[in-house]
Amino acid sequence: MGEVVALARTGVTSVPDARGDHRELQVTWHDADGVFVVSLWRAGLCTGAVRIGPEAAADVIGALADGLAERA
């Protein structure tokens, strides 16, 4: 089992799921590892997470920007 590390709530970006039902996406930067952790939450419990490096984060940002541009 991995090491358990308590994290402060500062620096967490939470985005509610459009479907509601107490679902949200959280993004946190972990400086010690040089990764973002993108996690899925439901009713205050983490249900899954992925760790992505800065290059992958840039790809995600690009995809979001492209989707917004197409919407405009």
Q: What is the pLDDT of residue 62?
A: 97
E-state strands within the chain: 13-16, 23-30, 35-42, 45-52
For residue 57, count other CB atoms closer than 10 A to its CB: 15
DSSP 41: E
In the chain, domain spans:
13-71
Q: What is the pLDDT of residue 34?
A: 94
Of 23, 32, 27, the residue nearest 57 (C-alpha) = 27
Residues of the chain scoring pLDDT < 70: 1-10
Q: What is the pLDDT of residue 11?
A: 80
Spatial separation of the C-alpha atoms in residues 41 and 16, rounded to whole Å = 9
